[in-house]
Amino acid sequence: MGRVLSTVLACAVFMSACASQIMQRYVGETLQEAMIDYGPPTNAFDMPDGSRAFQWVMNSTFVTPTTITNSGTVRPTGYSATWTQNTQITGGQPITSTCAYTMIARWDDARNAWVFTEYRRPRTLCE
């Protein structure tokens, strides 16, 4: 079970790292550019320094790999034999992860739009 869990966590980190790198590319771009690809942000709020934070919440679900282990024994009993079989199934559980990707923006009068100045990396399991 430990090997399956470590494989699942590695896959989750790999997949979310792709999303992290994609969001990073919007630094210097307008809010509308990110909205074209990801839709409107889930949250938006003003920061004390006059900037605004925009967040996209992304959910992902994947299923852990399934492993089936069969073992059996044959025990002779006189002129016949007894067959005992054990089947163990592990994995196959759905894992859901929710990650918030945050972009910080400042209003740009020349472009008449919010322009991203910073990307805040999400929690470790989303990276």
Q: How far, in Å, CA of 17 to CA of 13, rounded?
A: 6
Asked if 1 contacts 90 with a C-beta cutoff of 8 angstroms, the reply is yes
For the chain, give every domain's residue range.
2-65+96-126
Q: Provide the pLDDT for residue 41.
A: 97
Tell me the pLDDT of the chain (127 aa) as tens digits.
Answer: 455 545 545 554 444 445 556 688 999 999 999 999 999 999 999 999 999 999 999 888 888 888 888 888 888 877 877 778 888 888 888 988 888 899 999 999 999 999 999 998 887 667 5
Q: Provide the pLDDT for residue 3.
A: 56
Q: Provide the pLDDT for residue 17.
A: 47
Q: Provide the pLDDT for residue 8.
A: 47
Q: Provide the pLDDT for residue 97.
A: 83
What is the chain written as a DSSP string? -HHHHHHHHHHHHHHHHHHHHHHHTTTTSBHHHHHHHH-S-SEEEE-TTS-EEEEEEEEEEEEPPPEEEEEEEEEEETTEEEEEEEEEEE---EEEEEEEEEEEEEEETTTTEEEEEEEE---GGG-
* Other CB atoms within 10 A of residue 97 CB: 15
